Amino acid sequence: MPDDHHIEEIIEEIEAIREELRAVRKRIAASASKVLLEEADTLLSVSEDLMNKVFQSLRRKTL
C-alpha cells in the first residue's frame, strides 16, 4: 500500500486531470458539432465520474 505522501501526490495528479477534463468539456461545448459534443461529453462524464471515485477512495485513505 502506498504511503500518505505517495497518496497525496496521486491526489494532486487526479485534481490536475479533473481540471483538464473540465477545460476540455468547456472547449467542446463551444464547438459547432453537436453530435461530437454529445459523444465527447459522455466520454468525459464517464471519465470524470471514475476520477471522482478514485479521488474519494484516496481521500478516505488519507483521513
Per-residue model confidence as pLDDT tens digits over 46-55: 888 888 888 8
- DSSP state, residue 32: S
- Residue 41 belongs to what domain range? 4-62
Angle 22-38-14 from CA coordinates, rounded to 5°: 25
pLDDT at 63: 62
Q: Structure pTM? A: 0.56
Number of domains the chain contains: 1
Query: Which residues fall within 8 angstroms of residue 42, CB to CB, at 6 or more apart?
Result: none
CB 10 within 8 A of CB 59: no
- When pLDDT is averaged across residues 17-25 and rounded to a whole number, the result is 82
